[in-house]
Structure 1
Amino acid sequence: MNQETLTNCPICTSTHFSTHLVCKDYLISQSDFTIQVCNQCGFRFTNPRPDSASIGAYYQSADYVSHNDSGGGLINKVYRLVRQYTLQQKLKLINSLQTKPGKVLDVGCGTGLFLETCQKGGWSINGVEPDANARTVATSRLKIQIKADIDQVVDGEFDLLTMWHVLEHVPDLTETLKKLRSRVRVGGTLLIAVPNSDSLDAHHFQNYWAAYDVPRHLSHFTPPTLKKLVNEGGFIFKEMHPMYFDAFYISMLSTKYRDGRTNWLESIYQGLRSNIRARRTGNYSSLIYVFQKL
């Protein structure tokens, strides 16, 4: 594997970092990866990390749920049961942001389930998915051509851009925000969902917290660092929404990584504890951020 090392913080360009945690890749390689924290702005990122030629190998697993519609064990069966409900909640959210359904571009659309839900809800849909297998499934499901890269999307008048647990995988954050901004209309909406490494479940599980997911997750956002990044990309922050089920799903995976098997009782307890604490702090396990293009 070839690695690359960042010498500047991707958000504030500082050159002064400290070690936040050392985490293991439990999905593929069983190798350790370091998460560093910027001493100036607090942004956390995997460093060093696999380069662009090497990173693809770390996604080749039947347990990687966003690229597969079947398989992945009991935890992912539970995930898929809940997913039908959460898809409807996502549709409800995006409908609340518009007076009527418009044009949506889902970046990192996986196998196309969210776009299918939007399509049925009256939205005009478009998608980007770099993984070839997932892209094939999405194209077949939606009967539209899913693009492999956002550079292939020429339309710049989308009402809504969505990234559901995608931005944490992106190697060049600033360049990606520029591309997103150029593809949404003035006044249009950018919706980003990412894990929150300041959640109570993250603090509880530490290096076993499954949402670190190194090295696939290159960035490990908190509300201040995500808002700073996107605001500087030409968007204004509007509102934030919790993803309640993520605390339970991540706790299930985290106990499995720590103990070798899922501790269902602890997972439910820690998921509840995280969500209850977050009602006061806002630090849910995963958060949906809504931004508007200036």
Structure 2
Amino acid sequence: MNTKQNLELFIECKDHSVSGEKFQLFHDKQYDMLITSPKPKNEEIGKYYESEDYISHTDAKRSLFEKIYHLVKTYSLSKKVRLVSRTNKSKSGILLDIGAGTGEFLLVAKNAGWHVFGTEPNQQAKNLAKQKGIDLDGTTLDYESQKFDVITMWHVLEHVSDLDDQILEIKRLLKPEGYLIVAVPNFKSYDADYYKKFWAAYDVPRHLWHFSKTSIKTLFSKENIMLQKTLPMRFDSFYVSLLSEKYKNGKMNFLKAFWVGIVSNIKAMRTKEFSSHIYVLKK
């Protein structure tokens, strides 16, 4: 991806979860997206995920925060599967989840009648998925001829090393008329503006790219994968605000985070800029 031109410094923030290192986010005007710099090398990125607190790689329910996270996650999983079924106009088909974590989404989809596949690079997460009866592959390169009715990426696209390669790979894997469902944070939301460098969804350097609605539409349309609809993820403003409070003030202020989350959602009803969005795209 040619991102050397039209870049200007947007904000500087640090890795609050693992390393404490500082990173800069540059605004790419062409795509209206932010790019994390310096970008860790592929052989180094793994160390930034080495934390017991990296919640998508664990089923732990040690704290109130983790218990609330998994409670909301359970509710959201069934909504996601219903969205997949409505989008595909079928309650069954061949589904691929890229970055499947510990496999909960694929388990719910499988129980709903979908023939499921998934990839996940983290071995700990793969082991937890296998205990649920979900076998995950390490990479989509394992699928030489398999095509999919629907591909999902739930808060995964922001992690991929090469956006152009990832989009081309999605295009290769989708059936004609197949659907892609992508969920990513939105750096133009109220909670992002409120917390600024402490906004938890920047999550540098694990998040290498930071998207707007314009960037998603533009990036995928280049490969004739066209945006069909954009949906809000209203719970994300509360989850992100809780973590942002911790990063900013050293503790999770539930009342303050709840208030910021509500304000963010109320403002987004007018601006259409929610904390995170789900994008439904079609090949």
2:246 partner letter: K
Calculate the TM-score normalised by the size of structure 2.
Answer: 0.96
Match of 2:87 among 74, 97, 112: 97
Comparing 35-44 with 231-240, greater Cα deviation is found at: 35-44
Give 1:245-256 correspondences, 5 Å limit: 245-256=235-246
**Does structure 1 conserve the Cα–Cα contact (< 8 Å) formed by 2:238 and 2:260?**
yes
Q: Which residue in 2 is equivalent to 1:78?
A: 68
Deviation at 1:14, TM superposition (A): 4.6
Q: Which residue in 2 is equivalent to 1:46?
A: 36
Calculate percent identity across the aligned residue pairs.
Answer: 38
Residue-by-residue CA offset, 1:99-156 (whole Å, 9 max, x unaligned): 321110000000000000100101000000011111122123124x311011112244
Q: Distance in 2 between matches of 1:289 and 1:246?
A: 15
Match of 2:156 among 166, 169, 172: 166
Q: Which residue in 1 is equivalent to 2:15?
A: 25
Match of 1:133 among 124, 129, 133: 124
Q: Distance in 2 between matches of 1:155 and 1:137?
A: 27
Q: Which residue in 2 is equivalent to 1:110?
A: 101
> Cα 1:123–1:108, aligned 2, differ >3 Å: closer, same or farther?
same
- Unaligned stretches of 5+ residues in structure 1: 1-9
Deviation at 1:22, TM superposition (A): 0.7
Deviation at 1:71, TM superposition (A): 4.5
Q: Which residue in 1 is equivalent to 2:194?
A: 204
Match of 1:231 among 221, 230, 239: 221
**Does structure 2 conserve the Cα–Cα contact (< 8 Å) formed by 1:34 and 1:46?**
yes
Q: Distance in 1 between matches of 2:198 and 2:104?
A: 29
**Does structure 2 conserve the Cα–Cα contact (< 8 Å) formed by 1:156 and 1:185?**
no
Q: Distance in 2 between matches of 1:238 and 1:14?
A: 30
SS of the aligned residue for 2:246 comes to helix
**Does structure 2 conserve the Cα–Cα contact (< 8 Å) formed by 1:192 and 1:290?**
yes
Q: Which residue in 1 is equivalent to 2:58?
A: 68
1:186 partner letter: P
2:72 partner letter: V
> Cα 1:43–1:142, aligned 2, differ >3 Å: closer, same or farther?
same
2:248 partner letter: R
**Does structure 2 conserve the Cα–Cα contact (< 8 Å) formed by 1:156 and 1:182?**
no
Q: Which residue in 2 is equivalent to 1:284?
A: 274
Q: Which residue in 2 is equivalent to 1:179?
A: 169
SS of the aligned residue for 1:138 comes to helix
Q: Distance in 2 between matches of 1:225 and 1:14?
A: 16
Q: Which residue in 1 is equivalent to 2:262?
A: 272
Residue-by-residue CA offset, 1:231-279 (whole Å, 9 max, x unaligned): 1132011001111100000000001100000111111111111111111
1:119 aligns with 2:110: yes
Q: Distance in 2 between matches of 1:72 and 1:199?
A: 30
Q: Distance in 1 between matches of 2:171 and 2:236?
A: 28
Q: Which residue in 1 is equivalent to 2:253?
A: 263
Q: Distance in 1 between matches of 2:94 and 2:5?
A: 40
**Does structure 2 conserve the Cα–Cα contact (< 8 Å) formed by 1:147 and 1:153?**
no
**Does structure 1 conserve the Cα–Cα contact (< 8 Å) formed by 2:57 and 2:101?**
yes
SS of the aligned residue for 2:10 comes to strand
Deviation at 1:196, TM superposition (A): 0.3
Q: Distance in 1 between matches of 2:30 and 2:4?
A: 7
For this pair of structures, how many residues does the alignment match? 282
2:123 partner letter: A
The list of structure 1 runs, each at least 4 consecutive aligned residues, that deviate by more than 3 angstroms after superposition, is none
> Cα 1:72–1:192, aligned 2, differ >3 Å: closer, same or farther?
farther
**Does structure 2 conserve the Cα–Cα contact (< 8 Å) formed by 1:63 and 1:71?**
no
SS of the aligned residue for 2:27 comes to strand
- Unaligned stretches of 5+ residues in structure 2: none
SS of the aligned residue for 1:49 comes to coil
Q: Which residue in 2 is equivalent to 1:34?
A: 24
> Cα 1:179–1:36, aligned 2, differ >3 Å: closer, same or farther?
same
